[in-house]
Structure 1
């Protein structure tokens, strides 16, 4: 119950918002406040549970390290002339695991009586021995048992890994709720329905991150994708909005069919749908069957569409351009991060990439995505289309971590650090575009000409956007550089030379078009409305800084902090351990 508290809080917030929206007809401001409160409460529960689980895991590790030696007294006078002599046996094992039998966990202390050891050195499990049956928590304090990482049901897993990315999704959603209110502010029409759809989308993302079963995985993807159709086409008066919604709806339905068919083939071959069960079945198979390979390939089609990897990426630029900027921010962060974290958990538990055919397919997809995304981003004048192609390249980079998933600790740290840097940069860029636009316009201010000289009109937003661009380019002293460095390190460790070369080439190309956008922000405008501006100066009013601006400034500062002092980021990501059994 406690472990699923973020899902319960979001569900309760949806019910309350539905009631207030349709019975009392509350306005946009009330819906925004209620949505932010619900998301914030879910975030608090997620952080508390994550902290408790991390503390419990550390306690288990400390206790296990203290009990690493077993003293066994032997009573054989021939072998041991000195009856008081004891031999110490050191056991090197994973600190968090106890000695396990199929049905119970047996913890063996270092104070075993002589009566518990026979002449052959065997340990007798009788009433006089100090061996005891563990309750599965790994620690003697029963109050800590409810805070351990565990499978809540067959469908969901509560561990540090899931709670970290759940917290990230909730923080992104809080920022989007604030940006959307500012975006709608100039309209007299009420937009409470937008926040209701937003909550449904967040619920789908959290469900997907918690998923440890292929059915929960599919339900989470659908609960995430269907609200996106409504969000993309919500402001249908804008140019290309309905076109983008129809494209996403049709292609998303086709991708879901491929994904469901792949899951069906997967189940027909292994007889399992849980991630841990799949791990066991795949590890015990002498060689994968053709039906299993077909199922995995069909699943990759659905996953490739959700992550917009080559060759399933053609929809992304049109949808980004047609969607409102706040929705584009959701697509680039929540829509992709939730899916990527779910398949990362699947790949960590089930050895899918051990098959050479699947491995080659993933390498080709990642390599083509990196080059395709960066090359086509070079000639884009629309900032949202450029970020769409850039997103293709960034998740091509991240696929390197999935392919090198056998290096589990380094792969998890790389994924966590890179995603956090990517999220912060996107909030800085797309959040600034959203605050510079309004919903009653036909199109957001997304073109280069619209953002030219933004520093002289809104310097705080321009500085934040510049830091976001530098981070996406992988410039030193930013969070993006740390993530890119870990990615190259992981690729070299796994000997993925083709992907390492693609990352280096893609970073060089990205530096060019990101630098072009940064320069464009600081160009001093020469004319406006046909009149020359001779004495243009920076317009900085501290009264204009509100919650939305503070969120963007905070993300920009965190981007710099993670690049200058990344140790705390490494500590945060290292605490997000996933449940292995």
Structure 2
């Protein structure tokens, strides 16, 4: 119950919002407040459970390391045993079988009097003293740590059911999904502000989407994985086409709906093939089957490949990426923010858990396929981003490249600690940068317009109109480009380090080339933000002074500023970020 508290809180928030919408007829402002409160309560639950699990795991490790010792006296067959020559060896645990065998064959727990008698015995020359002292003073554990065993059991990482797993890994990305949802709820209220109609349905769909993302991150079973993906994808159809009066909105919704259904068919077919071969649906079952098979069957490989096709559609990896730029351009900017962050991060984290548990990439055929997909995604995304004038289309192609980068971490997943840190650091930097960029675009646009201010010409000279948003966008672009002193640079550095460690030289070369190309078009956008506006008639520079009004800074602007500051902080002092990611350990069994 406690472990699944974020899911329960979100479910209760959905019920409360439904009641408020259809019975109390509340307006958009109160819908926003209720949605933010529900998401905040779920976030508090996730952070609390994650902290308790991490703290409990750390305490158990400290107890096992500090309180279990074996004292072994030095043996001498010809001389009396000297107590001063005892050697103390620290071990993590003492198995029961080992203690019983020692009790049968050796003298365990000899007190000081018996030891002195043994030292004074005149017949020690004829016999070997093999006395061993086991020091397992557990009586002081409770006094020193004041930990209740039942409390430890309550807060430890575990499989809640066969469908869900509660561990630090899932709770970290659950918290990130909820933070993004809170930011989008605030941005969307400002986006709808100039309309007089009620938009409570938008926030209801947003809560369903957040519930799907959390379910997907918690999943440790292929059925829960499929339910989470569908609960995440179906609300996106409504969100993309919600503001149907905008240009290309309905077209984008139809494209996403059709291709999402196609991806679900591939995913279901792959799950069916896998189940027909192994009779298992859990991630751990897949791990066992792949590790025990001397050579995986053809049917199993086909099932895994079909699942990868469905996942490739969801992550928009080459060659399944053609739908993404059109959907980004047609969707509202706040929905594009959800697509680029929650829509991909939740799927990627679930797949990372599957790859960490099951040695899928140990098969050479699948490994080669993933390397080709990652290489093509990096180059395709960066090359086509060079020729885009629409900022949302550019970010769509950039997203293809970024998840091509991250696919390197999945291919090199055998280096588990480094792979986990790389995925966590890179995703956090990617999320912060997207909130800075797309959040600023949404605040500079309004829902009653035919199109958001997403073109380069619309953002030209933004610094002279809204300097805070321009500075935040600039930091976001620098982070996506991987410039030093930003979170994006730390993530890119870890990716290169992981690729070199795993000897993935082709992917390392693609990352370097892609980063060079990305630096060009990101720098072009940054320069565009600081160009002074010029009158088209007489070519006289206008707007020579920066219009900065502190009274216009509200919660939405504060969110963007905070994300920009965190982007810089992670780049300048990344140690706290490493500590946060290292605490998010996944459950291995």
Q: TM-score, normalised by structure 2?
A: 0.90
Cα pair 2:221 2:282 within 8 Å, conserved: yes
Q: Deviations over 1:247-280 (max 9, x none)?
A: 0000000100000110111111122111112111
| Residue number in structure 2 paired with 1:136 | none
**Offset of 1:25 from its aligned partner?**
1.1
Q: Where do 1:232-271 residues align within 5 Å? A: 232-271=240-279
Structure 2 residue 402 is the aligned partner of structure 1 residue 397: no
1:505 aligned to which of 491, 500, 513: 513
Q: Where do 1:295-334 residues align within 5 Å? A: 295-334=303-342
| Residue number in structure 2 paired with 1:407 | 415
CA distance in 2: counterparts of 1:211 and 1:80, whole angstroms: 63
Cα pair 1:77 1:83 within 8 Å, conserved: no
| Residue number in structure 1 paired with 2:563 | 555
Q: Deviations over 1:211-237 (max 9, x none)?
A: 011110000000000000000000000
In the TM superposition, structure 1's runs of 4+ consecutive aligned residues that sit over 3 Å from their partners are 67-74, 76-91, 120-123, 128-132, 528-535
Q: Deviations over 1:152-207 (max 9, x none)?
A: 11100000000000000000000000000000000011000000000000000000
The RMSD of aligned alpha carbons is: 2.5
**Offset of 1:142 from its aligned partner?**
2.3
**Offset of 1:421 from its aligned partner?**
0.2
**Offset of 1:119 from its aligned partner?**
2.0
| Change in 2 beyond 3 A, CA 1:368/1:70 | same
CA distance in 1: counterparts of 2:79 and 2:252, whole angstroms: 82
Q: Where do 1:52-91 residues align within 5 Å? A: 52-67=52-67, 69-71=69-71, 82=81, 91=91
Q: Which moved more, 1:427-436 or 1:80-89?
A: 80-89
**Offset of 1:121 from its aligned partner?**
9.1
CA distance in 1: counterparts of 2:328 and 2:94, whole angstroms: 52
Q: Secondary structure at the match of 2:70?
A: strand
CA distance in 2: counterparts of 1:353 and 1:122, whole angstroms: 49
| Residue number in structure 2 paired with 1:119 | 105
Q: Flag structure 1 segments of 5+ consecutive residues without an equivalent.
A: 101-105, 133-138
Q: Secondary structure at the match of 1:288?
A: coil
Count of aligned pairs: 557
CA distance in 2: counterparts of 1:555 and 1:4, whole angstroms: 28
**Offset of 1:534 from its aligned partner?**
4.0
Q: Secondary structure at the match of 1:218?
A: helix
CA distance in 2: counterparts of 1:171 and 1:440, whole angstroms: 27
Q: Secondary structure at the match of 1:55?
A: helix
| Change in 2 beyond 3 A, CA 1:394/1:535 | closer
| Change in 2 beyond 3 A, CA 1:122/1:301 | farther
| Residue number in structure 2 paired with 1:18 | 18
CA distance in 1: counterparts of 2:284 and 2:79, whole angstroms: 46
Q: Secondary structure at the match of 1:70?
A: strand
Cα pair 1:116 1:129 within 8 Å, conserved: no
| Residue number in structure 2 paired with 1:8 | 8
Q: Secondary structure at the match of 1:406?
A: coil
CA distance in 1: counterparts of 2:380 and 2:78, whole angstroms: 72
Q: Deviations over 1:55-93 (max 9, x none)?
A: 00100110121245434799x9989974979776665xx
| Residue number in structure 2 paired with 1:518 | 526
CA distance in 2: counterparts of 1:490 and 1:403, whole angstroms: 10
Q: Flag structure 2 segments of 5+ consecutive residues without an equivalent.
A: 110-133, 139-146
Cα pair 2:460 2:530 within 8 Å, conserved: yes
CA distance in 2: counterparts of 1:122 and 1:358, whole angstroms: 54
CA distance in 2: counterparts of 1:308 and 1:405, whole angstroms: 21
| Change in 2 beyond 3 A, CA 1:293/1:319 | same
Cα pair 1:107 1:131 within 8 Å, conserved: no
| Change in 2 beyond 3 A, CA 1:323/1:363 | same
CA distance in 2: counterparts of 1:279 and 1:153, whole angstroms: 18
Cα pair 2:70 2:135 within 8 Å, conserved: no
Q: Where do 1:403-482 residues align within 5 Å? A: 403-482=411-490
| Change in 2 beyond 3 A, CA 1:72/1:515 | same
Cα pair 2:68 2:137 within 8 Å, conserved: no
| Change in 2 beyond 3 A, CA 1:464/1:290 | same
| Residue number in structure 2 paired with 1:39 | 39
Higher helix share: 2
| Residue number in structure 2 paired with 1:276 | 284
